[in-house]
Structure 1
């Protein structure tokens, strides 16, 4: 059954579809959407091009499927920011979750970054329709903490941007990070990254600091 069919897929169909998406994640994260080809994805998946096209009619369809599956995962750490929690600890926990995603999901991070760098043609509607309301909601929570004196004065949106930039850097610029770190840290930059980010934000956000 094709990917857009209505009947349940067989186990083989599910396996092949998953293999295509896994291969496509590698190809897109390395080459970007424009640089990737169906032939590259088929080879990486161990399938013929006609077989791949049986499951997904185009490169665009594969890309859209990956992005749709990624977005909910990408938003989950921010959704967990708890208005009832300790403000500094909640923000630090969010930063740790984002850093852990860079460690565990570097290909997904690069896929997302490549899409945004291309002007987000496949994500623009979703960014405005799902991401923005969530960011608005959490920015209001952060602003409330600031107003209550529970956080140092900080611009909520730019605080979130800085967390994204710091944490996703370790996935999107992994080669650069490992190239310039001391040899004893380059093999696994994440423990020291976590400590540095924790220290930075803890000092920045502590009220009266």
Structure 2
């Protein structure tokens, strides 16, 4: 489909249906385990109709990554050096956990991409994402050097936040299988735990020496 032409309402609707269906399929089966037939069936469209909007499975996957990336990275972009350092980091933790709760498919989509070696997202990891993480790590390092937070490696702090918050989306079946929570109550418990955990870890008063 020519991308330079304005889309009609039905075209917008069909395109959105394809991307929504693809998000379900890719997040469950990964890129390699997904097929155009699965996406077409989930979207309620024929395979030729899907190919009218996207020339390939890879094109759908790339469109999903591109459209979701701004939303997924918004909490990190919003992280600034204004206000209380510990409060700012805890706010980032809570926002990341909230995204895992509300957007588990998106989390699994990115996790599957990275687990496969990031063949489609690799340049963004070493380019745009690295630059963004470098920028936020520099803020955290300044806080640490000034004694406003405990002396922690800023990169591994960020990685640990990703791991502890996105775990609840990426390993949802395991978490629910162990906890048997009522609805999403475990996310509330996780927020209480992670807030206390990081508050203690970041408090410079708790540093030994």
TM-score computed with the length of structure 2 as normaliser: 0.96
Deviations 1:14-57 (A, max 9, x none): 00000000000000000000000000000000000001100001
Quick check: 1:178–1:186 contact (8 Å CA) kept in 2?
no
Is 1:26 aligned with 2:24? yes
Matches within 5 A, 1:26-65: 26-65=24-63
- Of residues 69-78 and 164-173 in structure 1, the stretch that sits farther from structure 2 once superposed is 69-78
1:193 aligns with 190
How many positions carry a matched residue from both structures?
205
Residues 153-181 of structure 1: per-residue CA shift (max 9 Å, x gap): 10000000000000000000001001111
Structure 1 gap ranges (5+): none
Question: Which 4+ residue blocks in structure 1 deviate beyond 4 angstroms?
Answer: none
Please state how far the C-alpha of 1:5 moved relative to its aligned partner.
2.6
Partner residue, 2:120: 122
Equivalent residue runs for 1:112-151 within 5 Å:
112-151=110-149
| Distance in 1 (alpha carbons) for counterparts of 2:82 and 2:6 | 43
Structure 1 residue 186, shift from structure 2 partner: 4.8
Structure 2 unaligned regions, length at least 5? none
**68, 81, 84: which is aligned to 1:83?**
81
